[in-house]
Amino acid sequence: MSTAHTISVPHLGTSSIGYALGGRLEASRPTLVMINSFSTSVELYRPQFDDEELNETANLLAIEPYGHGCTRAGYEDFTYWDSAVAALQVLEALDISQAFVLGTSQGGWIAVRMAMLAPAVVRGVIPLGTSMDAESPRSRELGCWDGVAFCTPAIDALAAPVDDDWVVDTDFVDAVLEAGFDADVDADTRAFWHSAHQQNYTGDDGRRRLRTSSVNLRDRDGLHGRLDGVRCPVRWLQGTADQVYSVANAEDEIGRFVNAHAAELQVVEGGQHFLSASHPAEVNAAATEFLRRWS
């Protein structure tokens, strides 16, 4: 995995988008774009960048959404649709005409938005530990978390401007990690993401980006009415130990891709919400098979 770089795209008054490549782009290989989960960065996909077989199968390209990592927008506000547009513009800037897109949690619905916006570009999507719904009563009835209750205290706490020396509180990071892994997340992982968050979310700009990201998570639009517009293959992986989105929800929603070339759900026993990190062997094998089948 190369260190994160930035590339300029025209969206939102010109934006600088953070990305990482697994190596040189090879025209003979398909490209797998990877979109990270809430408040994380391209570093979420270290286990994928370290997988030899996956790297031999595809060019690996991680892209950070607005509000995350090194990505910065010319305008102050943004939505998940903006992140989907910007990711497509990164592909254009890198001269990648077609790609598969894998996304964890929020990355999953960004990936699906990319497929809706540019069906000629996106050849397949691999959602991980995600949902196509808004934070709705239906979602909670199917065993998903209460995203409104999770996000609202942080949104309220981040409402006021802060000094330049402000950094995000580790309690916030711990809440994200415990939702993404579990309460027993190991010390090294916890320390890494404490440091990564506090490097990224600092000063008033960091506060504002984190607050807008939290608002997007809580208040996003659902995609149920648009899923019939997805025509590429879909391979959804959902962990049984995911504390955020349930297998029951995934079982319902995979059936809503009524016009997809293929729509499959793979349930990963013991898989956590940050599935690419908790169960990389299963995710990497599934992605490799999917890429080889549909390339």
Q: What is the token pair recorded at 54?
A: 């996956």
169, pLDDT greater than 90: yes
- The predicted structure's pLDDT at residue 3: 63
**Strand, helix or coil for residue 117:** helix
Name which of 38, 277, 240, 278 is nearest 150 in CA terms: 38
- The predicted structure's pLDDT at residue 94: 97
Confidence label for 184 from pLDDT (cuts 50, 70 and 90) = confident
The C-alpha atoms of residue 291 and residue 100 are separated, in whole angstroms, by 8
How big is the chain, counted in residues? 295
- The predicted structure's pLDDT at residue 1: 64
The C-alpha atoms of residue 196 and residue 237 are separated, in whole angstroms, by 26
Q: Can you give the pTM of this predicted structure? A: 0.98
Chain segment 230-247, per-residue pLDDT in tens: 999 999 999 999 999 999
Name which of 63, 126, 119, 131 is nearest 290 in CA terms: 126
Chain segment 2-40, per-residue pLDDT in tens: 567 999 999 999 999 999 999 999 999 999 999 999 999
Question: What average pLDDT does this structure show over 110-135?
Answer: 98
- The predicted structure's pLDDT at residue 4: 76
The C-alpha atoms of residue 61 and residue 59 are separated, in whole angstroms, by 6
Mean pLDDT value across the chain: 97
- The predicted structure's pLDDT at residue 216: 98
Question: What average pLDDT does this structure show over 262-270?
Answer: 98
- The predicted structure's pLDDT at residue 106: 98
DSSP 167: B
Question: What average pLDDT does this structure show over 211-228?
Answer: 98
Percent share of the chain, pLDDT over 90: 98
Q: Compute how many other C-beta atoms are within 10 angstroms of the C-beta atom of residue 269.
A: 9
The C-alpha atoms of residue 27 and residue 134 are separated, in whole angstroms, by 37
CATH topology of domain 5-134+222-294: Rossmann fold (3.40.50)
Confidence label for 183 from pLDDT (cuts 50, 70 and 90) = confident
Q: Put the strands of the sheet holding 99-104 in their side by side order.
A: 5-9, 15-21, 59-63, 31-35, 99-104, 122-128, 234-239, 263-268
The C-alpha atoms of residue 141 and residue 155 are separated, in whole angstroms, by 24
124, pLDDT greater than 90: yes
Question: What average pLDDT does this structure show over 263-287?
Answer: 98
The C-alpha atoms of residue 266 and residue 224 are separated, in whole angstroms, by 20
